[in-house]
């Protein structure tokens, strides 16, 4: 039977279940990655499992989020992560070395391998022909312990690419076009697989931009074939021995197919405040901008920064614009400098920062009040920038640099001829600061700062649940809404009692006070609840506050998995119209909830005052066991 690239990788890694759409399967994970904002908790969880050393082929701990050391917290976490890596056999990439996804693409990713990362943009690795999936930190900890990663066998959405990109149009415009057509919910339940004659026109870093930004479709992941372009990239990185040709078979079938003729695309831009609010640049051209940021895991490769530098030769940034560049890795910095392109950035007035995530997760670089910020980032959720009522637009490096020069949103085609550039045949690797795993058995003491709190214990699910609706929210609530990021809150990621004080802070400043006053709480929400980041704190912190039930119209994949991992029961309205029949502060009872889960019930009756609402329980048998135990850790220890 003809197979897609996705089916080939899944089949080669299948350890539990059958590859039947909609059924749960377990796959072997070859590689893992963490970043520091999620990694500290992931390693506390790994320690709780009690495994003496990671069991994967390769695991890497990156520090790329919490880089601002305004006090001791971040620096302490960095030392903790380094000591954990030394003790348990991981590679360690220190602060300033670069963004996890960019470095992993350069130095570790391999075609045909599975990669699980505690960051929602882990699908970046799909640009190399990997099956790279974002997950919560606890799932990554279990994978490092040698356990399978479980997921519902997804459908496969084929994206056929034809044609060739025009000058000033880039890979970013391909994925923006897909978001314009499908929306942030269009990929839910799917793996996006790219095929067609157009893929040969895209380099690995072009493809990585597309698979990275594909996370905003809500897809499980995105993947490209591994072909001659993949081989060429690995040769340039000195890793040609890791190349594996991987193509879909002739006649392979997809559950859905959409076609994009790249030759018809023009520069696109996502307007505030959602990645799918996409229009052509011409439609919003002329709006004044105060800040332009180039970087993030989506667009910080050497190719992207080199194009920006070439455009800026002999030009200056508009005096009213703060133009800032966040390189993706030390490798990018080294090669950009060696080729002389760094000088063009500096002379033009760019502010070149250390290699890392920075403003993408609200760690500095907040825009001024009532001004437009253009960013080559993957997300523009409200307030994510660190400024309330922000006006963040998402665009390609080409649009970004053109707008920085003119001081207004600008179609880069107005600049004239596209500059020529060439990438090196052999890159300076830039990996000299990455620590290799220490030998097994070496005596290593874990460094723990005072902000690192013990992992909380959670009790099993009760026979009957009673509580109150602590909050009712609308559609498309993101994990940023649930557990905000930013320079103030991110340093608390290793301290659940402290960070829990900020749950839903951007929506309702009284939420935490109400949660403290109630023994048990429920959250009611709309469609696509929990979209965005993989941050498990958006499940873990509410659980710490006593939230045991979330009743919504539909869930985003990673957040639903995280809820289950920490013992929060994810329920969906059997009839979405019942959303209007339940209000904040109402008392709720779910009689016999434990028995219902034990017996495999697919629906539950929820008593809301004198009324009754039906809810669906769309979870696997293993998920039920985890919820009954109170958390994945409880379940794993008892298994």
Active site residues: 64-65, 119, 379, 533, 535
CA 390 vs CA 105, 285, 381, 509: distances in Å:
32, 18, 9, 19
Please say whether the beta carbons of 600 and 573 come within 8 A. no
Q: Count of CB atoms within 10 A of residue 154's CB?
A: 22
Lookup: tokens for 347: 């002379």
Give CA–CA dist 631/47, Å, rounded: 16
Angle between helices 302-312 and 204-213 (to 10 degrees): 100
CA 184 vs CA 156, 278, 286, 561: distances in Å:
17, 11, 27, 18
Instruction: Kindly state the greatest CA–CA separation across the chain.
Output: 73
Of the candidates 137, 147, 114, the residue with the CA atom closest to the CA atom of residue 26: 147
Enclosing H/E stretch for 468? strand 465-472
Give CA–CA dist 600/589, Å, rounded: 19
- 17 contact partners, CB below 8 Å, separation of at least 6: 23, 24, 25, 26, 153
Of the candidates 54, 214, 46, the residue with the CA atom closest to the CA atom of residue 136: 46
- 565 contact partners, CB below 8 Å, separation of at least 6: 136, 138, 139, 536, 539, 626, 631, 632
Q: Residue 363 gets which letter from DSSP?
A: S
DSSP letters of 20-75?
A: -TTSEEEE---EEEEEHHHHHHHHHHHHHHT-SS--SSEEEEE--S----SSHHHH
For residue 547, the cross-strand partners are 521
Peptide linkage before 273 cis (omega within 30 of 0): yes
Three-class DSSP category at 276? coil
Q: Count of CB atoms within 10 A of residue 388's CB?
A: 10
DSSP letters of 239-268?
A: -GGG---B-PPTT---SEEEEEEGGG---E
Q: Residue 438 gets which letter from DSSP?
A: P
Of the candidates 91, 5, 10, the residue with the CA atom closest to the CA atom of residue 56: 91
For residue 471, the cross-strand partners are 523
């Amino acid at each position: 039977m003809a197979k897609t690239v996705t089916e080939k990788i899944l089949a080669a890694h299948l350890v539990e279940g059958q590859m039947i759409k909609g059924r749960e399967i377990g796959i072997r994970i070859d590689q893992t990655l963490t970043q520091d904002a999620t990694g500290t908790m992931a390693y506390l969880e790994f320690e709780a499992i009690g495994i003496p050393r990671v069991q994967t082929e390769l695991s890497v701990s990156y520090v790329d989020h919490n880089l601002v050391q305004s006090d001791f917290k971040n620096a302490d976490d960095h030392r903790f992560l380094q000591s954990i890596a030394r003790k348990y056999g991981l590679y360690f990439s220190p602060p300033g070395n670069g963004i996890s996804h960019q470095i992993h693409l350069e130095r570790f990713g391999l075609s045909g391998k599975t990669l699980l990362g505690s960051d929602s943009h882990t699908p970046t690795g799909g640009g190399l022909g990997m099956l790279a999936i974002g997950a919560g930190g606890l799932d990554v900890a279990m994978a490092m312990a040698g356990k399978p990663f479980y997921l519902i066998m997804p459908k496969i959405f084929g994206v056929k690419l034809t044609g060739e990109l025009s000058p000033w149009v880039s890979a970013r415009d391909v994925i923006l076009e897909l978001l314009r057509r499908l929306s942030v919910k269009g990929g839910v339940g799917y793996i996006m697989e790219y095929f067609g004659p157009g893929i040969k026109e895209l380099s690995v870093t072009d493809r990585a931009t597309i698979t990275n930004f594909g996370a905003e479709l809500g897809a499980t992941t995105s993947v490209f074939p591994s072909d001659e372009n993949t081989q060429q990239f690995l040769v340039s990185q000195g890793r040609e021995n890791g190349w594996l040709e991987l193509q879909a078979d002739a006649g392979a079938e997809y559950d859905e197919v959409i076609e994009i003729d790249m030759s018809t695309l023009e520069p696109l831009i996502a307007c505030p405040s959602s990645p799918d609010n996409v229009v052509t640049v011409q439609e919003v051209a002329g709006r004044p901008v105060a800040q332009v940021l180039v970087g993030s895991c989506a667009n910080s490769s050497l190719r992207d920064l080199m194009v920006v530098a070439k455009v800026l030769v002999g030009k200056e940034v508009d005096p009213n614009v703060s133009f800032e560049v966040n390189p993706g890795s030390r490798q990018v910095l080294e090669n950009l400098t060696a080729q002389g392109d760094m000088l063009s950035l500096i002379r033009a007035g760019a502010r070149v920062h250390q290699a890392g995530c920075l403003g993408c997760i609200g760690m500095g670089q907040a825009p001024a009040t009532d001004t437009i910020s253009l960013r080559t980032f993957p997300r523009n959720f409200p307030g994510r920038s660190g400024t309330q009522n922000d006006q963040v637009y998402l665009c390609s490096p080409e649009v970004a640099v053109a707008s920085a020069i003119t001081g207004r949103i600008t179609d880069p085609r107005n600049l004239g001829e596209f500059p020529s550039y060439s990438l090196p045949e052999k890159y300076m690797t830039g990996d000299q600061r990455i620590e290799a795993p220490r030998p097994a058995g070496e005596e290593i003491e874990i460094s723990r700062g005072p902000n690192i709190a013990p992992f909380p214990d959670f009790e099993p699910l009760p026979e009957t649940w009673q509580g109150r609706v602590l909050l009712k929210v609308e559609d498309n609530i993101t994990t940023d809404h649930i557990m905000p990021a930013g320079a103030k809150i991110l340093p608390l990621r290793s301290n659940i009692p402290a960070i829990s004080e900020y749950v839903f802070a951007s929506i309702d400043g009284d939420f935490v006070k109400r949660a403290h006053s109630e023994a048990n709480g429920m959250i009611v929400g709309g469609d696509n609840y929990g979209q965005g980041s993989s941050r498990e704190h958006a499940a873990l912190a509410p659980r710490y506050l006593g939230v045991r039930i979330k009743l919504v119209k539909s869930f985003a994949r990673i957040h639903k998995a995280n809820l289950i991992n920490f013992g929060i029961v994810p329920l969906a309205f059997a009839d979405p119209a019942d959303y209007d029949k339940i209000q904040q502060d109402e008392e709720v009872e779910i009689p016999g909830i434990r028995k219902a889960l034990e017996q495999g019930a697919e629906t539950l009756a929820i008593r809301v005052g004198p009324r009754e609402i039906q809810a669906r329980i769309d979870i696997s048998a293993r998920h039920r066991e985890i919820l009954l135990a109170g958390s994945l850790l409880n379940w794993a220890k008892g298994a």
